[in-house]
Amino acid sequence: MDIILKQDVDLLGSKHDIVTVKDGHARNFLIPQGMAINATASARKVVAEVIKQQAHKASKAMDEAQALAKKLEGLKLKIGAKAGENGKIFGSVNSIQLAEAIQAAGHSIERKQIQLGDDSIKELGSYEATIKLHKDLIVTMPFDVVAD
């Protein structure tokens, strides 16, 4: 029996896959549990349209992420922090301050997208952060921590 999976099923397939299973397994387990539907002609058309729309949305999101990556490419940020005489910062600089600096420069980045090499930066200097703009697009951004 051909079925269309509504969610990922271990050892069987992923969401929207059309797979062939034994009739009893489909009727007694997969369909009643809401994991699959019968692969009728109309259901196949609906799934094909859903896959087409998801591919379009994914390509649009990737294009937007690439455009943002080009804008961020030439951006050099300076984050001000209060520091002592020996270059130690009072407190630390983390992804929140970096996200605020990027937003002040006119770009919308959430702090969850930013990954610092260390969890927090405690000294003045030049650093790099990785920004995950899309699941397939990661940008490295240099920034400086300077004394206020």
Q: What is the CATH number of domain 2-64?
A: 3.40.5.10
Reference 114, options 88, 147, 89, 141; nearest CA is 141
- Which regions of the chain are under pLDDT 70? 118-119
Q: For the whole model, what pTM was predicted?
A: 0.66
- Longest CA pairwise span in the chain (Å): 76
> What is the distance between the alpha carbons of residues 4 and 20, in angstroms, rounded to a whole number?
9
With residue 105 as reference, give the H or E element that holds it: none
Q: What is the CATH number of domain 68-147?
A: 3.10.430.100
Contacts 24+ apart (CB under 8 A), 97-106: 98/129, 98/143, 101/77, 101/143, 102/72, 102/75, 102/77, 105/75, 105/77
Q: Is the fold of 2-64 the same as that of 68-147?
A: no
What is the domain partition of the chain in residue ranges? 2-64, 68-147
pLDDT at site 119: 67
pLDDT at site 84: 86
**Which pairing describes strands 2-5 and 36-38: parallel, antiparallel, or unpaired?**
antiparallel
DSSP 35-84: SEEE--HHHHHHHHHHHHHHHHHHHHHHHHHHHHHHHHHT--EEEEE-B-
pLDDT at site 92: 87
